[in-house]
Amino acid sequence: MADDLKIPLLEELEKGPWPSFVTDIKSVAGKSEMAADLLRQLEKSYEDKRGYWKHGGLVGVRGYGGGVIGRYSALPEEFPGVSHFHTVRVNQPSGWVYTADALNGIMDIWDEHGSGLTNMHGSTGDMVLLGTRTEELEPTFLALTQKGWDLGGSGSDMRTPSCCIGPARCEYACFDTLALTYNLTQEYQDELHRPMFNYKFKIKVSGCPNDCTAAIARSDMAIIGIWKDDIKVNQEEFAKYVDSGMDVQGIVVDMCPTSCISVDGKTIDIDDSNCVKCMHCINKMPKALAVGDEKGAAIALGAKAPIVDGALFGSIMVPFIELEEPYEELHDLIERIWEFWDEHGKARERIGEFIERVTLARFCEEVGLDPIPQMVTHPRENPYIFYEEYFAEEGEGSEE
Amino acid sequence: MAVSVEQLADEMFAIVEESAGKRKLKAGDLQKAMAAKHGDEVSRKDVKAGIKLLIDSGRCVYGYFGGSSIELPRTEGAANE
Ligand code: SF4
Ligand code: SF4
């Protein structure tokens, strides 16, 4: 630790049983003046109750409009170590699967060209390399690309697509999340690196409704695995759960949100026509119950954090789509959505806000999506009854 | 294509130069300007290729100030030595 590091306020954050970023940064402050000055500047921010970062909007690597977040200290004389403190986002591998060699390679690069500090992973999914100088950006990029890495997205572009680990080790996966995420990343390299939209567009991919990437809450386009047919039941294994003394009634049957499970002794019966595929019963009895055979994904649009307007959850736009390479149907849908949003969206308007403004009915018409019951978010709020053909059929414009 | 990508790049560069210091232009603004000038003679893909040319040649750079913009290369005010 740097000898003259006096950070009593930050050290308060080291108290308690939880991990502390202060402890982590202190552990490298002895060998990195950038890390030491980062702590010193943050301590001053805590003392003065204000931030001391300036936004650097023009830093980046040649040809790319994303992947680097520029930051300069507002107090460069006092904290020269963080005079420049740019962040580099590195496109993570699908499912965040690394070899130790790959991670060591990244860290060697970052020790040489940056602060050595990382955040694994950022909320979009990228590996986040924290703190470097402007003149180190191109050498960092070169070293990364020589090892097969690329930068991720930032700004008004398609952000780095991310996915759960899916079929690599999870039996619930309804499609190959890793393959799809890789495909989208490669297919849309221009959209990832060359900001051309009104605002950011995040795609997150989860293999089943457990939604381990929290796609439904955190992505403009959530692709979530689902199945169309019945839950697969293994009655023998179910009997073993009963024999083990598990409170099947209390833990599974009574918790089913649509009350579509019944149990008779050691036999379970599911009324699949009423199952909303919440995954609860499967999660509780994975040996007895499994996702069906007709697998694909549902697509929700519009989730976002509360930056301009309030937070939004995604709304289902496509209840089922098969996801097999080469994913033409999905590409086609994504491109239609982008084109309409690009043409008519306002600056900094996310797709969810855009749909609210132009109305769901118009959005569906323009993008070529069929209206479905799942789009109705509240009782008595039917967003698609004002279709022109209905007016024509009825001969008048009902307000109901 | 009646209008070459190089011509589009030059025309967009002129717009970016003209707007420098006054207004930050997004890719969409350049799209709209080219569509207004050339109508159906240029596609969105052509304009994107023109922007790519401007960026890859270093004549323009991307900026980010709340949204992404296309700008002339310069040293920004926030930059430290
Ligand atoms: S989202 Fe589903 S498929 Fe993906 S890791 Fe989680 S439980 Fe498994
Ligand atoms: S998945 Fe959910 S809704 Fe379907 S049967 Fe199981 S608990 Fe009920």
In chain B, domain spans: 5-80
Report the C-alpha gap between A286 and A277 in whole angstroms: 14
Tell me, yes or no, whether A302 and A332 share the same domain.
yes
Residues in CB range of A115: below 8 A, 6 or more apart: A28, A32, A34, A35, A38, A85, A130, A131, A132
Q: Residue A270 maps to which CATH number?
A: 3.30.70.20
Contact residues, chain A, for B52 at CB < 8 Å: 190, 194
Q: How are beta strands A114-120 and A127-132 bridged, if at all?
A: antiparallel
Q: Is B59 on the interface with A (CB under 8 A)?
A: no
pLDDT at residue B76, rounded to an integer: 85
A279: left (phi over 0), alpha (psi -120 to 50) or beta: left
- Would you say residue A245 lies in a domain? yes
pLDDT in tens, A299-344: 999 998 776 667 888 999 999 999 999 999 999 999 999 999 988 9
Ligand 1 center–CA A295 separation, angstroms: 14
**Spans of chain B, pLDDT less than 70:** 1
Q: Is A339 on the interface with B (CB under 8 A)?
A: yes
- Would you say residue A353 lies in a domain? yes
Tell me, yes or no, whether A16 and A109 share the same domain.
yes
Q: Is B36 on the interface with A (CB under 8 A)?
A: no
Q: How far is A31 from chain B (nearest CA, A)?
A: 23
Contact residues, chain A, for B74 at CB < 8 Å: 58
Q: Is B56 on the interface with A (CB under 8 A)?
A: yes
pLDDT at residue A399, rounded to an integer: 35
Ligand 1 center–CA A373 separation, angstroms: 26
Ligand 1 center–CA A163 separation, angstroms: 9
Q: What is the pTM of this model?
A: 0.91
Report the C-alpha gap between A124 and A111 in whole angstroms: 23
Tell me, yes or no, whether A136 and A170 share the same domain.
no
Report CA A111 to chain centroid distance, whole Å.
28
* A112: enclosing H helix or E strand: helix A100-113
* Residue nearest ligand 2's atom 7 by CA: A256
The ipTM of this complex is 0.90
Tally C-beta pairs within 8 A across A and B.
Answer: 87
The structural domain count of chain A equals 3
Domain C-terminal end among A146, A175, A192: A146
Contact residues, chain A, for B29 at CB < 8 Å: none
Q: Is B74 on the interface with A (CB under 8 A)?
A: yes
Full residue range of the structural domain in which residue A6 is found: 2-146
Tell me, yes or no, whether A39 and A177 share the same domain.
no
pLDDT at residue A379, rounded to an integer: 57
pLDDT at residue B7, rounded to an integer: 96
Tell me, yes or no, whether A220 and A368 share the same domain.
yes
Report the C-alpha gap between A219 and A351 in whole angstroms: 10
Residues in CB range of B64: below 8 A, 6 or more apart: A57, A58, A65, A70, A154, A155, A156, A195
Tell me, yes or no, whether A103 and A33 share the same domain.
yes
Residues in CB range of A325: below 8 A, 6 or more apart: A179, A183
**Spans of chain A, pLDDT less than 50:** 385, 390-391, 393-400
- Would you say residue A21 lies in a domain? yes
Contact residues, chain A, for B34 at CB < 8 Å: none
Is A348 close to B27, i.e. CB distance below 8 A?
no
- Would you say residue A384 lies in a domain? no
Tell me, yes or no, whether A121 and A182 share the same domain.
no
- Would you say residue A31 lies in a domain? yes
Report CA A49 to chain centroid distance, whole Å.
31
pLDDT at residue A46, rounded to an integer: 97
- Would you say residue A156 lies in a domain? no
Q: Which residues line ligand 1 (CB under 6 A)?
A: A 164-166, 170, 172-173, 206-208, 210-212
Q: Residue A52 maps to which CATH number?
A: 3.30.70.2500
Domain C-terminal end among A254, A273, A290: A290
CA distances from A39 to A4, A82, A286 (A): 11, 10, 47
Domain C-terminal end among A242, A259, A290: A290
Tell me, yes or no, whether A240 and A218 share the same domain.
no
Tell me, yes or no, whether A208 and A138 share the same domain.
no
Q: What is the DSSP string of A170-183?
A: -TT-SS-HHHHHHH
Check: CB of residue A201 under 8 Å from CB of residue A159. Answer: yes
Report the C-alpha gap between A148 and A101 in whole angstroms: 13
Report the C-alpha gap between A117 and A24 in whole angstroms: 9
Q: By three-state DSSP, how is residue A84 classified?
A: strand
Q: Does domain B5-80 have CATH number 3.30.450.20?
A: no
- Would you say residue A154 lies in a domain? no
Report the C-alpha gap between A328 and A187 in whole angstroms: 11
Q: Is B65 on the interface with A (CB under 8 A)?
A: yes
Of A55, A154, A195, the CB nearest to B78: A55
Tell me, yes or no, whether A310 and A338 share the same domain.
yes
- Would you say residue A89 lies in a domain? yes
Q: Residue A326 maps to which CATH number?
A: 3.30.413.10
pLDDT at residue A378, rounded to an integer: 62
Tell me, yes or no, whether A247 and A301 share the same domain.
no
Tell me, yes or no, whether A218 and A335 share the same domain.
yes
Ligand 1 center–CA A36 separation, angstroms: 39
